[in-house]
Structure 1
Amino acid sequence: MKSATSLLLGAALATVFFLLYTSVCRDLGPGQPRSPSSLSPPRWAQEQGTAVASKVVNAERGTRRPTKQEVERAAPREEKQTNEAAARGGGDGDGAAGQHQQNQQKIVMPTSQQVRVPPDTSSGHQDDLGELLRRAATADRTVLMTAINEAWAAPGSFLDLFLESFRHGEGTAQLVRHLLVVAMDGGAFQRCRAVHPLCYWFRVDGMDFGAEQTYMKGDYLEMMWRRNRLQQTILELGYTFLFTDVDILWFRSPFPHISPDAQVVMSSDFFVGDPDSPGNYPNGGLLYVRATASSVRFYQHWQASRARFPGKHEQFVFDRIVKEGVPPHVGARVRFLDTARFGGFCQHGDDLGRVVTMHANCCVGLRNKLFDLRNVLDDWKAYRARVAAGDTARLSWRVPGRCIH
């Protein structure tokens, strides 16, 4: 009897342990752990569907709900760009170009990500892009814009020299009120907030644009193309812009020398004498684009053409598509600025009575650029002092320098 009771008790305990074991195994699932990618789609894929709405809501927050037309106007056109690029191909590597364009779409950050600022930003909150554009714009919805990273924004570097040139130019001091400074990293954003009221942090998670970006190396290409995409976004939001590199000194307002019906106008490294000639050597350091449907289409064509020229920067692609001829359905007219007024270290005018801007192009290295730009600004100050004193003697740039000749 005692032996039978022991057997029954043992069987009951075995049953309990078996049920517990099967329950735990069911909760834990298969022995192989699941990868993070199997739990949910990548963040860019999750947010891709909300990018359009985020862009318009950020631009219009606190005023009104966007209309259907505004949502359609602000929508990214990556899918359409891919189709256009495939249709234009017709040569070797069309399939690779299409795949490259698809991969490019994956790294375009939605506006909702770009305006997010981490808690450790001690210099104040980030205003959204739409609000900053509204505050910077002139009555006709035109904004000036430049872009900086930490190396170019450091005290005594290009940002300080750039802003100083506005103070010493002829009728340029008031233009700074319409200048939006785009910071490519947190250090540049904090430095901008210390010296200028209109600063936008163009955040790209996982990328660091803070160090000196050597031409065509490291993150340089991605920085240039992301800047280009931001310019397209500004057009889609209905704002005309005049973009200027921060290594350009401003001495006079450029607007009297830009035609009122201009659509896309770019500066030149070398000017051949005809503003409509595709033979000019483009330089995106100074770029005026009027907010029209055709200019937005031009940017879509420009961005889509990147897939046909892998590893090339946006200025190279611009030159190629202009030389090919802008497609008729795009409809934008491209013109170039005369270096006699909008000069640089590559080619410049010597008549300080006509000069509008001076660009530190054709020059490698921050120190070399800064050295020559400081001399250029000193020469301009000397010219202004002579004019104020009634001295009309000819005065030109101090050349040669480390770069300027």
Structure 2
Amino acid sequence: MHLLGGKMKGGGGIGEMGSSISPLVSFTLGAAMATVCVLFFMSASPGRSLVDIAAWSHNNGTAAQHHQRHLSLPNVTAAAAKAAAAPAPAPAVPSPYGDLEEVLKRAATADRTVIMTQINAAWTKPGSLLDLFFESFRTGEGGVAKLLDHLVIVTMDPAAYEQCQVVHPHCYFLRTSNGVDYRSEKMFMSKDYLEMMWGRNKFQQTIVELGYNFLFTDVDVMWFRDPFKHISMGADIAISSDVFIGDPYSLGNFPNGGFLFVRSCPKTIEFYRHWQEGRYRFYGKHEQDVFNLIKHEMTDSIGISIQFLDTTYISGFCQLSKDLNKICTLHANCCVGLGAKLHDLRNVLDVWRNYTGAPVQEKRAGRFQWKLPGICIH
């Protein structure tokens, strides 16, 4: 105190006092300035965090050492800054076809081929067409029953979907917005029938656009043997025939869309676009007639290859194969009405069961024939 008082008395004044306490003041001011600088730096760099402040305010080491220590810390701030800067992921847009791709993936073969059929509630009741359809696979020859593993059943109403899930693993509910009640039978060429057929056609277009090949089969087709053996690898489209004239590549054959193989490729996608447009070009026609009307221009304009399937193997009531040793499928075409189809197909399955239970020599002798005439079969 004496020393301090002497200096004050001697007129050293403020200047001398400042000289005596400058280390303390310098330290305090230096720390304060450093803190201010850091806070300013933080405000200018919102990506920085408290980790940076700890590195900068540590009172040991040089500025370079502090900087090096900051770089060696886990890069939490960089990750946080990146996350903050990244845009939020876009919300998932639900597919208009729901779980379709999942169902297709489960059912498809290694080369992305599925078998498809389409049903409504009227066809799923016990003893109705779906039961007969399954029975034909189970009593078929040559491992045809294994093809059910690749069958997708497209249902048109909730009741059909519910029943399908009871009997089959690959069911898909095709929701429609055209106001048609698909639960009941649709009479041939009625307005609802045409809506259903063209809706089916549009759905098939979706399948090829998704990159899947498909073999579509009406549920009133009985499967006895593997039909894929009769589909040419060179065909873009293979379609059954109401009338087959002998040459599978002649456009003079009359097609039936109830049994149809389509290979997914640019040509078939283009074909389906023109096919859909034909609904309005040829107003009032169903999809099978429009196919017949555009087949010439499509082979000329896009070079699509169409195979018409021989009715000896891929047969129907329109042109019946009577050789049970060769037949693969039998379609209740040229037959109107659910009751008539059920009557004749039950008789078909009765004959087929007798055939499969007979000795090989008896089969080869060709002694088995369909029950003729039926309501439609002749």
TM-score interval, normalised by the smaller of the two chains: 0.7 to 0.9
Cα-to-partner distance string for 1:55-113 (whole Å, 9 max, x where unaligned) = x976xxxxxxxxxxxxxxxxxxxxxxxxxxxxxxxxxxxxxxxxxxxxxxxxxxxx52x
Q: CA deviation at 1:218?
A: 3.3
Which 4+ runs in 1 deviate beyond 6 A? none
Q: Would you say 1:355 and 2:327 are equivalent positions?
A: yes
Aligned length: 286
- The residue aligned with 1:378 is 350
Question: Following superposition of structure 1 onto structure 2, how do residues 271-290 of structure 1 map, counting pairs within 5 Å?
Answer: 271-290=244-263
Q: Would you say 1:164 and 2:135 are equivalent positions?
A: yes
For the aligned residues, what is the CA RMSD?
Answer: 1.9
Cα-to-partner distance string for 1:172-195 (whole Å, 9 max, x where unaligned) = 110000000000111111111111
Cα-to-partner distance string for 1:232-288 (whole Å, 9 max, x where unaligned) = 100011000000000000000011111112111110111111111222111101000
Aligned residue for 2:162, secondary structure, equals: helix
Structure 1, 142-151 or 340-349: larger mean CA deviation: 340-349
Contact 1:386 1:392 in 2 (8 A): no
Structure 1, 158-167 or 299-308: larger mean CA deviation: 299-308
Question: Following superposition of structure 1 onto structure 2, how do residues 198-213 of structure 1 map, counting pairs within 5 Å?
Answer: 198-205=170-177, 206-213=179-186
Q: CA deviation at 1:327?
A: 5.5
- Within 2, Cα distance between the matches of 1:391 and 1:240? 35
- The residue aligned with 1:148 is 119
- The residue aligned with 2:46 is none
Q: Unpaired segments of 5 or more residues in structure 1?
A: 1-52, 59-110, 116-127
Contact 1:236 1:291 in 2 (8 A): yes
Q: CA deviation at 1:328?
A: 4.2
Contact 1:341 1:348 in 2 (8 A): no
- Within 2, Cα distance between the matches of 1:353 and 1:387? 13
Q: CA deviation at 1:325?
A: 2.6
Q: Unpaired segments of 5 or more residues in structure 2?
A: 1-89
Aligned residue for 1:266, secondary structure, equals: strand
Question: TM (normalized to structure 1)?
Answer: 0.68
Contact 1:342 1:348 in 2 (8 A): no
Q: CA deviation at 1:209?
A: 1.1
1:223 maps to which of 196, 201, 226? 196
Q: 1:57 to 1:327 in 2, by over 3 A?
A: farther
Aligned residue for 2:353, secondary structure, equals: helix
Q: CA deviation at 1:390?
A: 5.8
- Within 2, Cα distance between the matches of 1:327 and 1:164? 38
Larger Rg: 2
Q: Could you tell me which amino acid in structure 1 is paired with residue 125 of structure 2?
A: A
- The residue aligned with 1:396 is 369
Q: Would you say 1:133 and 2:125 are equivalent positions?
A: no
Aligned residue for 1:284, secondary structure, equals: strand
Contact 2:155 2:171 in 1 (8 A): yes
- The residue aligned with 1:84 is none
Aligned residue for 2:246, secondary structure, equals: coil
Q: Could you tell me which amino acid in structure 1 is paired with residue 253 of structure 2?
A: N
Contact 1:169 1:251 in 2 (8 A): yes
Q: Would you say 1:176 and 2:173 are equivalent positions?
A: no
- Within 2, Cα distance between the matches of 1:361 and 1:327? 26
Q: 1:391 to 1:253 in 2, by over 3 A?
A: closer
Aligned residue for 2:191, secondary structure, equals: coil
- The residue aligned with 1:68 is none
Q: 1:387 to 1:285 in 2, by over 3 A?
A: farther
Question: Following superposition of structure 1 onto structure 2, how do residues 10-159 of structure 1 map, counting pairs within 5 Å?
Answer: 112=96, 114-115=97-98, 128-159=99-130
Question: TM (normalized to structure 2)?
Answer: 0.73
Q: 1:360 to 1:391 in 2, by over 3 A?
A: closer
1:319 maps to which of 272, 292, 296? 292
Question: Following superposition of structure 1 onto structure 2, how do residues 319-338 of structure 1 map, counting pairs within 5 Å?
Answer: 319-322=292-295, 324-326=296-298, 328-338=300-310
Aligned residue for 2:280, secondary structure, equals: helix
- The residue aligned with 1:29 is none
Contact 1:273 1:338 in 2 (8 A): yes
Q: Could you tell me which amino acid in structure 2 is paired with residue 291 of structure 1?
A: S
Q: Would you say 1:253 and 2:220 are equivalent positions?
A: no
Q: Would you say 1:296 and 2:269 are equivalent positions?
A: yes
Cα-to-partner distance string for 1:319-342 (whole Å, 9 max, x where unaligned) = 1001x4315442311121111111
- The residue aligned with 2:359 is 387
Question: Following superposition of structure 1 onto structure 2, how do residues 181-192 of structure 1 map, counting pairs within 5 Å?
Answer: 181-192=153-164
Q: CA deviation at 1:305?
A: 1.8
Aligned residue for 1:260, secondary structure, equals: coil
Contact 2:325 2:364 in 1 (8 A): no
Report sequence identity in percent: 55
Aligned residue for 1:252, secondary structure, equals: coil
- Within 2, Cα distance between the matches of 1:215 and 1:209? 14
Contact 1:149 1:210 in 2 (8 A): yes
Cα-to-partner distance string for 1:374-397 (whole Å, 9 max, x where unaligned) = 111111111111135865432121
